[in-house]
Chains A and B, each alone.
Chain A
Amino acid sequence: MAEEPRKIAFICSKGNLDMVYPALVMGWAALGNGIDVTIFFTFWGMDMINKARVDHLEIPPIANTSMKMNMMGIPGYIGIPQIFGIIPGMTAFASWLMKKKMKGLKVPPVREYLEMMVDGGAKLYACKMSVDMFDLKKEDFIPGVIDIVTASDFMDMTEGAQIVFI
């Protein structure tokens, strides 16, 4: 048991709901199994830790050809014509639907999920370059974000870790 614990690091670069959950689900599973977890948020992934954005993450039906109408209870795999995706309210509708499905599975919303992970020992960091680009400050982030770090810092702190880019 004295061996070095397994380490895993996620780089979250997307802010759409379908790209936000993978790191949360896998990271939580990792913590539950005693694996050390670090998450680095960059580019659009910073929406996950941005206080003003985290509760408003969305999923657009546009250019997502895997999203079929069976999610709305229509049998078979009938596609959503891409042109419908541009109708105002379609993204909000798809996001509402996904959040409802997640809630049905007892999956917590992103803000609460991250809180839970921080309580479980996950270490969260924001990417310096993205922070500068989006003109953000540490105060803009949810509690639990330890620091704003450079890519090089990230490389140092994840030595020996398995890295997953999302």
Chain B
Amino acid sequence: MPTKVIAGKEVQVNDEGYLTNPAEWTKEIAIEIAKEEGIELTEAHWKVIDFSRSAAASNGASPTLRTITDGSGVSTKELFGLFPKGPAKKVARISGLGKPEGCV
């Protein structure tokens, strides 16, 4: 398993750059990955990230976009605005989770 140093911390990542162990994730890592994606994290972004992390912790699967909009109170429009061009992958990567499991 390859490792990568993000925000001064060595973490395990897969070929596509997703963290493979959500426990290694820190807020600093999120900020750093977001920067790579060209996103400056705001309060609204954190709402999505926090929700995704707790959803993944409680049912063991990275949430789908629909799960996020259903559960976090962030609308589809806002979600695509916060994480432009591919929120499914971006939210998962920034939140230190795998790709969403599920099709909706």
Q: Does B86 contact A (CB under 8 A)?
A: yes
Interface range, A side: 10 to 19
Stretch touching chain A among B4-12, B24-32, B44-52, B74-82 = B74-82
- Mostly, the A contact residues are loop
Q: Look across to chain B and name the residue whose beta carbon is closest to the beta carbon of A29.
A: B103
B35 within 8 A of A: no
A105 to B85, CA, bound (A): 26
Q: How many A-B residue pairs have CB under 8 A?
A: 43
Partner of B88, one of A25, A32, A108: A32
**A28–B89 contact, CB under 8 A?**
no
Interface of B is mostly: helix
B104 closest partner in A (C-beta): A107
Q: Give every chain B residue within 8 A of A33 (Cβ-Cβ).
A: 86, 88-89
Residues of chain B lying within 8 A (CB to CB) of residue A143: none
| Residues of chain A contacted by B76 (CB below 8 angstroms) | 116, 119-120
Spell out B's residues near A (CB within 8 Å): 38, 65-67, 69, 75-77, 80, 84-89, 100, 103-104
